[in-house]
């Protein structure tokens, strides 16, 4: 009890004296092990500090009680953020925060004091690496308490985390220790709009001295952002964020390697290397979903280099899936998928693996559209069946073209393909004998036009463009051309009158229709 009383005196003394917070930080860090074992004393000191901040500290004891009383009478609000952060983190690490009273105390501490609209909180913690790290632990404990308490107001929780992102940084472009936690919780609660508000602001500064967020936090933030975007099926954005997370791997052979290895508790006990390996796994699946192969041709060897760099064999099953997808080999894909079924479950990537498989047949159809604009439906069915990708979710191979026809219509509705399906009867006239073949379905294929990039987290709505839409556009273009030709004829009729007014030399000698024809030929 004497030790906690001494800490209380140190906290109040540091606050009233104008702030020797560096000394207070080192004192708390050295005595952290003893604090974790003193649950009752920590709770009592926290309650007294919170009452003092709220203006209810009538029974203040200790050597600086008089000074604090005078300070409370002033107009300036007192702040004990440094001491509260260490004491709250000690409660979280002690494992005694699961009790209802202690849990309510910690929630009140975070929401009403550390994340209150008080700029003094961040001023006390800024530049103190140990204090910022303890604040990160306290914030994670706060989220764990809310998630484990049954009914939770997710909007309220995310709003406080968003306030931590905003308040614990010198500017909106700094990365904070709250960024990855906020994005992960938004993804877990399916409140993607909350996260996108923050993710659309670019991170231009990573300053561990100012925010406590270093290379580990940077990697975690972009990894969690990539996971959220993949859940939203914004595949291009997800790939970009995961590549940014993987850019940290270039620091492994640099002086930053010391930090990477030392931050083994960088994110829920996961090392940065573990996060990088997870990001590579998801990026491989996202590339398969996007194009069926590695998107950037110059980075095809990246997964293999990654395996050699981190000596991780966990990526090998995903590399095998990528190889099977690149070759459009459905039989090989199914063999790899079945052999590593446990791996997908452990990594939590089952849904992405299933999504990648459902996209494989679509990649094959797009491959056909790149080399042929008109092909029989039966030929598409035969090509899909020969590559063993014509298998439904029950593992059954359809026996007719109906399933492929539905696939083409679905791709057209999703804007992935421009499709027109027609019935064609082919007649052969040889030596005067006409032979009629049965009707065959012929498919006209075309890739849709490229679209402009959208803001982060947005997707294009279904285009639903078919050949009839293109025909309508061509007809509309013909109407415009006809209107222009009529206007030219009217100008030609007015030409003699204009020549009488301005003279032939000034007006020019060539007819307007001739100039129009020359312009069309040049185009």
| One-letter-per-residue 3-state SS of 115-166 | CCCCHHHHHHHCCCHHHHHHHHHHHHHHHHHHHCCCCCCHHHHHHHHHHHHH
CB burial of 436-458 (b: ≥16 within 10 Å; e: otherwise) equals eeeeebbbbbbebeeeeeeebbe
* Closest to 359 (Cα-Cα) out of 396, 333, 339, 386: 333
Determine the pLDDT at residue 296: 73
CA 396 to mean position of chain CA atoms: 35
Q: Are 366 and 380 in contact (CB under 8 A)?
A: no
Determine the pLDDT at residue 385: 87
Q: Residue-wise pLDDT tens for the chain (523 aa)?
A: 555 556 667 777 666 555 578 888 888 888 888 888 887 788 888 888 888 888 744 344 444 434 443 433 333 567 888 889 999 999 998 887 666 788 899 999 999 999 988 888 999 999 899 999 999 999 999 999 988 866 567 889 999 999 999 999 999 999 999 999 999 999 999 999 989 999 999 999 999 999 999 888 999 999 999 999 999 999 999 999 999 999 888 776 555 554 555 454 444 556 788 899 999 999 999 999 999 988 777 677 778 888 777 777 789 999 999 999 999 999 999 999 999 999 999 999 999 999 999 999 999 999 999 998 889 888 898 888 888 887 655 555 566 678 888 889 888 888 888 888 887 655 555 554 444 445 578 888 888 887 777 788 887 655 444 445 555 555 666 677 777 777 778 777 777 776 766 665 555 555 555 555 555 555 4
Q: Are 383 and 364 in contact (CB under 8 A)?
A: yes
What's the pTM value of the predicted model, to 2 decimals? 0.79
Determine the pLDDT at residue 185: 95
Determine the pLDDT at residue 309: 77
Determine the pLDDT at residue 199: 95
- Which residue carries 């309510």 as its tokens? 104
Q: Are 366 and 419 in contact (CB under 8 A)?
A: no
Determine the pLDDT at residue 490: 79
* Closest to 165 (Cα-Cα) out of 108, 105, 225: 225
């Amino acid at each position: 009890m004497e030790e906690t009383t001494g800490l209380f005196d140190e906290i109040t003394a540091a606050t009233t004296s104008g702030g020797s917070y560096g000394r207070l930080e080192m004192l708390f860090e050295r005595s952290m092990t003893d604090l974790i074992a003193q649950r009752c004393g920590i709770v009592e000191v926290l309650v007294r500090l919170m009452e003092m901040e709220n203006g209810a500290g009538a029974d203040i004891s200790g050597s600086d009680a008089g000074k604090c009383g005078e300070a409370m009478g002033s107009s300036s609000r007192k702040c004990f953020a440094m001491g509260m952060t260490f004491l709250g983190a000690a409660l979280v690490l002690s494992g005694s925060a699961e009790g209802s009273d202690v849990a309510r105390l910690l929630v009140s501490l975070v929401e009403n004091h550390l994340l209150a609209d008080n700029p003094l909180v961040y001023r006390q913690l800024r530049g103190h690496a140990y204090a910022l790290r303890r604040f990160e632990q306290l914030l994670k404990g706060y989220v764990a308490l809310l998630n484990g308490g049954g009914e939770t107001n997710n909007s309220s929780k995310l709003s406080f985390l968003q306030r931590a992102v905003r308040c614990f940084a010198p500017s909106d472009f700094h990365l904070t220790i709250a960024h990855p936690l906020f994005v992960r919780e938004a993804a877990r609660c399916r409140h993607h709009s909350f996260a996108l508000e923050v993710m659309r602001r670019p991170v231009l500064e990573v300053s561990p001295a100012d925010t406590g967020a270093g290379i580990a936090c940077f990697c975690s933030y972009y990894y969690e952002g990539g996971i959220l975007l993949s859940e939203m099926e914004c595949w291009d954005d997800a790939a970009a964020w995961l590549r940014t997370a993987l850019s940290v791997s270039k620091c492994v052979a640099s002086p930053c390697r010391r930090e990477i290895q030392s931050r083994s508790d960088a994110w829920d006990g996961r090392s940065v290397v573990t996060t990088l390996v997870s990001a590579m796994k998801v990026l491989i699946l996202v590339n398969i979903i996007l194009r069926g192969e590695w998107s950037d041709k110059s980075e095809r060897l990246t997964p293999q280099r990654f395996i050699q760099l981190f000596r991780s064999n966990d990526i090998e099953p995903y590399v095998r899936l990528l190889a099977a997808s690149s070759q459009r080999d459905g039989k090989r894909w199914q063999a790899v998928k079945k052999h590593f079924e446990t791996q997908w479950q452990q990594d939590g990537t089952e849904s992405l693996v299933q999504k990648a498989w459902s996209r494989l047949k679509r990649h094959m159809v797009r491959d056909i559209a790149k080399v042929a604009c008109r092909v029989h439906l039966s030929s598409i069915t035969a090509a899909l069946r020969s590559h063993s990708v014509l298998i439904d979710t029950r593992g059954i191979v359809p026996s007719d073209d109906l399933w492929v026809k539905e696939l083409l219509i679905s791709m057209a509705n999703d804007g992935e393909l421009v499709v027109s399906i027609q019935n064609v009867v082919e007649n052969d006239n040889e030596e005067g004998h006409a032979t009629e073949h049965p009707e065959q379905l012929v498919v006209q294929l075309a890739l849709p036009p490229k679209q402009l990039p959208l803001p982060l987290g947005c997707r294009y709505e279904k285009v639903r463009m078919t050949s009839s839409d293109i025909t309508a556009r061509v007809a509309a273009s013909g109407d415009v051309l006809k209107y222009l030709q009529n206007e030219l004829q009217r100008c030609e009729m007015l030409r003699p009158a204009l020549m009488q007014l301005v003279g032939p030399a000034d007006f020019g000698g060539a007819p307007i229709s001739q100039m129009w024809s020359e312009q069309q030929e040049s185009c």
